[in-house]
Amino acid sequence: MKDPARVKMGKSNRRRGRDFEPRVTAWWHAHGWIAGNTRGSHGIEDGYAMKAGHDPVLWQAKLSGYLAPKERLDLIARAEKAGAVPLLIDRPARGRIRARRLLMNGEGYDEWTTAEIAR
């Protein structure tokens, strides 16, 4: 059982992650995309984003920036099936959100810039 004093001090990792997802959706909206969360679906993606002139996006949000290899391949396969771009969204520095496209071989990332998302 957790020490009640420690629980009051901060949020659990799961709750911080859950709170991060709506912030990511708001970030997409701020850049002119239509976006939403897939809360409660327990699927591999946490959300989606669409904008005219761009490929649709399926994204997974991870505060730590780490996505296990199996999850990475699952997200890539699901995005491929939907004709979407698989993205890993993380927060490398407090307040900053970063989007990284998962490479189709499952080994590596290609960082998307905010300028690419905003155009």
pLDDT (tens digit per residue) in 14-67: 677 678 889 999 999 999 999 998 876 567 899 999 999 999 999 999 988 899
Question: Which pLDDT score is estimated for 96?
Answer: 84
- Predicted TM-score (pTM) of the model is 0.78
Q: Which CATH architecture has domain 15-118?
A: 3-Layer(aba) Sandwich (3.40)
Question: Which pLDDT score is estimated for 47?
Answer: 93
What is the Cα–Cα distance from 76 to 102, expressed in whole angstroms? 7
pLDDT over threshold 90, residue 88: yes
Helix (H, G, I), strand (E, B) or coil at 51: coil
Q: Return the domain boundaries, the chain.
A: 15-118
Evaluated on CA atoms 105, 112, 51, 91, the torsion sign reads positive
The pLDDT confidence band at residue 93, using thresholds 50, 70 and 90, is: confident
